């Protein structure tokens, strides 16, 4: 169903982190940017759609004192209605850059009061509605930022609470935000002048590492290797898949085709078709491939139809591309 294409070469390898790949496509300019974290730097490889020309840039996340680099835990392109920003989460806080990494727009440092058990970091990033960016924190709070259409006047709007342990990932669809944590708990929020909790799905103690929203479903990837699909209104689990044998590090959804992409440290990348009815979600495995000798740490569709996708792996300097066979 899919075939492996020519890879995108990175300057440095990928760190072993959840969701360690973000993609920003600009069809008007015929370019695609790939962002991958390596220790205290984000590697951005920007290529033409045929991968013939590749431009590289490294973005470093420095502490406020500018004396040393901070370890990065996630980087993600956030596409809003009026602009796109590259958001970088680290051990000290978060930074926002122009999408090419050329200029920093905003820096938010976490205070000592934001720690839990002496641990401080941010992880989990989502663009919501037209002008909000949400970032999760190790204390369990979510930082909601209001983003201007241009300029650097980014404002911290609020810090909703609900998680009792570290936030691991965020996802959004329209005005709905979903968050998950280290205990497997998933919370849905409705955006507005104040973000309100609309649903809480209590976890069983196994970390939920990656989230997607699709129609009336909330999809979570778990450290146990399971994919669980919940109804976004009732919170009832509609489907559970024993998808992988090791930790799931990334999932993604192609909204036009209802294809779900999952990847794991077990080296497998898999695609599943989803069919939703009134009570359940029927799932079929459409593609499965082992990427030899690779602990996969990132996976993303390149388009909304799901005709191509990319994966990254720990200690690998490649972004591996797959496309649908003709």
For residue 133, which of 121, 119, 120, 148 has the smallest C-alpha distance? 148
* Beta-strand relationship, 8-9 and 318-324: antiparallel
d(CA 112, CA 202): 28
- How far apart (Å, rounded) are the C-alpha atoms in residues 217 and 186? 12
- Distance, in Å, from the CA atom of 189 to the CA atom of 173, rounded to the nearest integer, reads 11
In tens, the pLDDT along 222-270 reads 999 999 999 999 999 999 999 999 999 999 999 999 999 999 999 999 9
Mind listing the pLDDT tens digit for each residue in 73-104? 999 999 999 999 999 999 989 999 999 999 99
**Confidence class of residue 193 from pLDDT cuts 50, 70 and 90?**
confident
DSSP letter at 116?
A: B
Average confidence (pLDDT) over 64-74: 76
- pTM of the full structure: 0.94
Contact 143, 122 (CB under 8 A): yes
């Amino acid at each position: 169903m899919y075939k492996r294409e020519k890879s995108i070469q990175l300057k440095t390898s990928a760190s072993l982190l959840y969701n360690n790949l973000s993609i920003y496509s600009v069809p008007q300019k015929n370019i695609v940017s790939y962002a991958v974290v390596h220790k205290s730097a984000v590697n951005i490889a920007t290529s033409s759609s045929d991968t013939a020309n590749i431009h590289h840039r490294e973005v470093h996340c420095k502490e406020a004192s500018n004396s040393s680099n901070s370890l990065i835990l996630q980087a993600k392109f956030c596409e809003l209605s009026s602009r796109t920003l590259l958001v970088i989460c680290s051990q000290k806080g978060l930074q926002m850059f122009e999408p090419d990494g050329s200029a920093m727009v905003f820096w938010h440092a976490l205070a000592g009061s934001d720690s839990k058990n002496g641990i401080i970091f941010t992880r989990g990033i989502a663009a919501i509605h037209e002008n909000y960016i949400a970032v999760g924190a190790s204390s369990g709070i979510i930082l909601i930022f209001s983003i201007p259409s241009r300029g650097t006047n980014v404002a911290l709007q609020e810090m909703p609470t609900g998680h009792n342990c570290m936030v691991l990932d965020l996802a959004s669809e329209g005005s709905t935000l979903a968050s998950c944590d280290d205990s497997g708990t998933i919370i849905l929020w409705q955006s507005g002048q104040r973000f309100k909790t609309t649903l809480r799905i209590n976890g069983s103690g196994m970390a939920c590492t990656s989230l997607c929203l699709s129609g009336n479903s909330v999809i979570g990837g778990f450290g146990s290797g399971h994919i669980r699909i919940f109804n976004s209104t009732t919170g009832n689990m509609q489907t559970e898949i024993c998808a992988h044998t090791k930790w799931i590090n990334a999932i993604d959804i192609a909204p036009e085709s209802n294809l779900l992409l999952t990847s794991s440290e077990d080296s497998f990348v898999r695609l599943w078709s989803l069919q939703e009815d009134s009570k359940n979600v029927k799932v079929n495995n459409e593609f499965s491939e082992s990427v030899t000798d690779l602990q996969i740490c990132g996976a993303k569709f390149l388009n909304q139809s799901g005709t191509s996708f990319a994966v990254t792996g720990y200690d690998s300097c490649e972004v591996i591309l797959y496309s649908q066979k003709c």
